[in-house]
Amino acid sequence: MPNGPSNAAKSLPAYQVGSGRKGFDLAAIDPGAKPFSCGDREGDRKALDALALELDALQNLFYADRRFKLLVVLQGLDTSGKDGTIRAVFAQTSPLGVHTFAWKVPTEHERDHDYLWRIHRQVPAAGEVMIFNRSHYEDVLVPVVNRWIGADETKRRYAQINDFERLLAETGTVIAKFMLHISKDEQRERLQQRLDDPAKHWKFSLGDLDVRKQWDAYQDAYQQAIAATGTRWAPWTIVPADSKLHRNLMVASVIKDLLLGLKLRYPTGERSLDGIRIE
């Protein structure tokens, strides 16, 4: 028997950053690691298929239960696979209860408000799953790397984000934040593929090359942001993502276990429904 996710889950703490985690070191995590793999590609593929089906059933229950909201945050550098993760992990779920939002550079109207204003508008409602493709974490990455904000403002934003996420958590939102962690070599290959394949040109922009030049600064900014905002109520999971299959397997598995932990239930029907026979 291949390792199921429940065995893999034992290795999860090494990849999670919650409250009180001292000495988190992003550089020490190997983007090529496969802690959630059974060691066999075919086995992993089957496990992922099974997970996608389980997630569909759980999401259905989540929608009916309506006691919780689920916010999934996907962060990662260009080509780290945010789109692909969403497609694979939520392959079987109904769009009725699963929503995604891909965050872009803020508009002028959005910039006239605090940076969490547009984020708060899009958080999930009761029974909903919302997946953020990028998020408010861009506001403590891009401006930090480009030195538009200093250390004081960066720390202030970490605190604001923690307060904001605490509000969400205390009002019923389960928050799962994933950093898709790829190596610089893997990014080179993926960018090159985008250049070489006309069907992938739409995903490439020359700006990606400038961002690639800031590789070390982004690793630093992620390191700082994750250490500062990995909390009890909104932990980060670092996902080794050089293997797409492993990345999908790990994200799906973590979300499944999170949903299982909620002890979801179908709401009990009204008493007055008892004994009714449809004629």
Residues that bind its own copies (CB under 8 A): 109, 112-117, 120-121, 123, 125-127, 156, 160, 163-164, 166-168, 170-173
Residue 132: strand, helix, or coil: strand
Q: What is the DSSP letter of 73?
A: E
Q: Which of 30, 27, 17, 72 is nearest to 228 (CA)?
A: 17
- Listing DSSP states for 168-212 in one string gives HHHTTEEEEEEEEE--HHHHHHHHHHHHH-GGGGGG--THHHHHH
Distance in Å, CB of 112 to its own copies, minimum: 4
Distance in Å, CB of 64 to its own copies, minimum: 14
26 contacts 181 by C-beta, under 8 angstroms:
yes
Q: Which two tokens stand for residue 87?
A: 């497609």
- CA dist 151 and 114 (Å) reads 18
- CA dist 40 and 83 (Å) reads 24
Residue 56 or 110: which CB sits closer to its own copies?
110
Distance in Å, CB of 156 to its own copies, minimum: 6
Distance in Å, CB of 163 to its own copies, minimum: 4
- CA dist 18 and 232 (Å) reads 5
Residue 101 or 164: which CB sits closer to its own copies?
164
Distance in Å, CB of 131 to its own copies, minimum: 17
210 contacts 146 by C-beta, under 8 angstroms:
no
The amino acid at residue 229 is: T
Residue 260: strand, helix, or coil: helix
Distance in Å, CB of 100 to its own copies, minimum: 18
With 0-12 / 13-18 / 19 or more C-beta atoms within 10 angstroms meaning exposed / middle / buried, residue 43 is middle
Place of tokens 């959630």: 36
Residue 143 or 172: which CB sits closer to its own copies?
172
Residue 24 or 164: which CB sits closer to its own copies?
164
Distance in Å, CB of 167 to its own copies, minimum: 5
